[in-house]
Amino acid sequence: MPFIKISTLPNSLNKAEIMKSVENALYTYEFEGKELMPENMATCIWQTQDCVVHKLEAYVEYDPGLVEIPVFVDLYVNTVFSKEKVAVIMEIVGAELSKGTGIDPKYVFIHTHVGNPGYVFINGEVWNG
């Protein structure tokens, strides 16, 4: 954990390298004097969108010149991460995606899903902490 799902238009740069860069940054970042998370804890996937309509214009391929093309990220974390750690994870993901795609960070939208008690189904039952 965390699980990071990135959604963009199909024609971006090397998706695998960008995801590896995101994951590596999470493992090498120091938070309060120790590693943010242990290696092999995060999982990244890339999902492509067929088309994005923005300002009544349809976009079907990523074009770095069109800086308003958004990148959507779903970040799934469990409650072992404090709000401060989640904020750092979001900042790292946003910075690495921007660096890898050339998209301005203001067009990266990250929505965090937190596994709170009563809202997670795992091991065949609703987890209530």
- Please tell me the distance from the alpha carbon of residue 88 to that of residue 110, in angstroms, as a whole number: 12
pLDDT tens digits, residue range 74-113? 999 987 889 999 999 999 999 999 898 888 888 899 999 9
Is the four-CA dihedral 96, 84, 8, 52 of positive or negative sign?
negative
Cis peptide leading into residue 10 (ω within 30°): no
Is the four-CA dihedral 114, 117, 118, 123 of positive or negative sign?
positive
Q: Which two tokens stand for residue 90?
A: 């979001």
Task: Provide the pLDDT for residue 109.
Answer: 94
The count of C-alpha atoms lying within 13 angstroms of the C-alpha of 125, restricted to the half-sphere facing its C-beta, is: 3
Task: Provide the pLDDT for residue 65.
Answer: 75
3-state helix, strand, coil in the chain (%, to 5): 30, 35, 40
pLDDT tens digits, residue range 31-54? 999 999 999 999 999 998 888 888
Q: What is the pTM of this model?
A: 0.84
Q: What is the percent of the chain where pLDDT is above 90?
A: 51
Q: What are phi and psi of 39, to 5 degrees?
A: -60, 150
